[in-house]
Structures are given as C-alpha cells and as structure tokens.
Amino acid sequence: MTMTGDPVDARRAYELGLVNAVVPPDKVLDTAMDLAGRIAGNAPLALAAIKELVRLGATDAARAADRNKKLQALVFSSEDAKEGAAAFMEKRAPDWKGK
C-alpha cells in the first residue's frame, strides 16, 4: 500500500488491522467511546510506556528497543504490576494507582 498508493476500503483496512472496527456512521461515536473506555481501564504506567515506545519506534527503532528494556523493568516492578496479578488471582477488577 505504501509503495503503490492504492486506496484501501474500510473492510480491507479492518482485515489488515489498520482500523479497530467498521461500523455504520451512527455508531462511530459509541464505538469510539467504548474503545476509549477499554483503553482507560488499563494500567496507566503500561499505557504511558506503550505510547512512548510507539512514538520513539516511529523514528528510532534501535533506541526504542533499548528504552523498552528500561520501561519493562519499571512497569513490571511497579505497584500496579502487583495489583494486576492480585486482581487476576482474586478474579476482580484491578485498582490502578499509576505507581
């Protein structure tokens, strides 16, 4: 696609994983809000790390790989990591603190 510039319709973009959903126009906002809620329900430290790595990876993959090691250590040793494991074992929703 990047080499040819050929257009891709919504269905094909979904099949390729370029979009999360294909919905009728009157469902776009509800679908987007549902996705936003799912994202917001995740651990804040992990989300921040992912955002940083995506941005960095777009311009410097080697630096992103190095930064990933540091961020993994930070996220996996966090209070939120312990809370996530405890919540899973206790079959409850996690109470993220961002620490």
DSSP string, 1-54: -TTT-----HHHHHHTTSSS----GGGHHHHHHHHHHHHHTS-HHHHHHHHHHH
Q: How confident is the model at residue 8 (pLDDT cuts 50, 70, 90)?
A: very high
Q: Are 42 and 95 a contacting pair, CB within 8 Å? A: no
Q: How confident is the model at residue 53 (pLDDT cuts 50, 70, 90)?
A: very high
Q: The whole model's pTM is what?
A: 0.76
How many whole angstroms separate alpha carbon 43 and alpha carbon 63? 24
pLDDT of 2 higher than 90: no
How many whole angstroms separate alpha carbon 83 and alpha carbon 99? 10
The first and second tokens of residue 22, run together, are: 């294909």
